[in-house]
Chains A and B, each alone.
Chain A
């Protein structure tokens, strides 16, 4: 099993390197491999190439990896929390809740003629994520069915989207274009200072989740048995909720709602490693989520270049089959 995990990690890292490279060289501006190194090293051959690499592609790549990782980690924690394999931040409406509050914040700031700060957007998103989360939690204590939970989450998502649309309809024309792009999910327009903020938040969440490895491992056997082993169940649950909400809120604040990465990545990774040990899952989900998102972003940019499709469309097309497979297999196992 250890061998298998090592192999899986090696494969993901290799894939990460390949896709970083591919994303660096592809795009409207043709860039030759040799330019990349010199641009990064600061020795520029052409001002435009360097600017494209350093100001557009590198931040976008880092953002895709970090935010994709954050989504996957958030999904893994939610699946642990609800003991439900088909939940993720998008399916449960948490991303949509964050999207709604971010839209409100954007309109509020833009109509005042100011540009919203990244930190205030993240905070708005976190608030929205928590509100949706509380709603879903309120349902989950009353209804134990996995299916109903997901249906409720999706409905919460629709309500949030509907209200967001309504708000957008009445917003100034100049804001709409901006909002429209963002609300579909996109990594475009992210700069290095955004990257710094998201890296900071996600790093904190990662550090906290490393300390959750031990209790999460015990929690796999269920609340009762973990409780008798001395796990502080309430603290664990609160931390799981807070971290997963903060992670998906961060993603939404910077890139808008991105679907299915959170729900599918943990299953892909489990299929690769054949284990559910959190010590493997937490770093693995993060890396694989980053890679998957980066690949999807590459496709979103490259497929109909120069027109970009929304990254959510790509993730949906590629990852929904994974989710469906999981559901079918699950159904078969439970008879």
Chain B
């Protein structure tokens, strides 16, 4: 074992970090461990319920941490740390108002319908509520986009490993993705969830060192704020709401209405309540109370994630002796915003801790990818293969299809990663494509659950109109950049602001079309909507649980903490 220290912040060399023998050993142990979990759990996944929904036996804690971990990819960690260096604490909106209310909506309002209807997926719920056309539209778009996104993330992660560690792109892509494929093929969702909880712990343990040591060096929170103000007197990096009073008062070029309505009320609600990647984890809960508690537990930890993502970005503003630059302005020897987290790791972590930090990044990537492929495999098997290709096969047949579709999904993702390597602009287009579906799907599912008058035709055409209008607005701005003042209400709007407002308008169009067409068509009888719509479904009460075990009690606690955090950092 090589314990000889290596130079860790090597600006002059071709990559940022050098691993020692002990770091390599820590990473190797991680790979062996996750594969071992997959092998061990294979014997417990015999039926399709086991493979696709982990036997619906997970506790609220495990489902909740897995729900959060599937979203906590390494690109998210590094990307938002970089965004914090660029935009300041405004980036925390994506963890607080851009997540917490949506998670509570999922847990308290929407989860009972997903759970009581016994659906296996979000497209499956659409089939029960709005018929086959809506299900097929949602399933195909979700399946294609999930696999492409997985490939993009894979390529981006390999690129990061090349820049930070000098690792070969091909080796990074194949080793990490085949490891994920192996443990998901063996143990299905059960294995994905077990590994996600492990990865959640490792992400925290690997990343928490940076804010602890960073705050120690900067002299606590007040010392950090003082240093930032001294170094960047012209820009407000440390307030969450006060710079949002006008479009031009903050570096994002966004108004508070975009954050509250575009991000908080539409985009976040859409992602956290209808993206099957995260909803699938909650569906694995052992009973309705656990299913309601899981997103609440997730919301609590989501509020804490800024400690390991936003705080390192702010600390970098305070303590790094170099100035980072945007991606498009990078020159030789300069470091970009996205390198904030590795740079901070290099500043504080020696051999051993560095290996743990890199393991955290790899764990983040693998948890995100496992989430993608396990969700893809479920939607492919239940919502495309079974209804359209082979409706009446034995249960074991669908488990086999699930295993094969996991493997094929990973291979297609690898293909997409190599496609990105050749044509980098594909990344931008596919990420935009994914955003087209989220907001309208939320409109359709929400109306489906809360409004019994919504009809099959209204649901399908509303969804299609929302997706179409989102694509139309995106194309309009691409063809004529001046159109951004109509979409995002300001000439100052940046890409993020445009996304917020485009989501808001496409949701409004989806809802409007659904309502108009529903009034023009014949509604379904109320008895067909039992278990699917709020006013037609008796929801089990929580009254018989002690106060401390009631989801509504913990939801109130989370709301209070959320409000206090927003007030403190206003």
Whether both chains belong to one complex is answered with no
Q: Chain B: residues with CB nearer than 8 A to chain A?
A: none
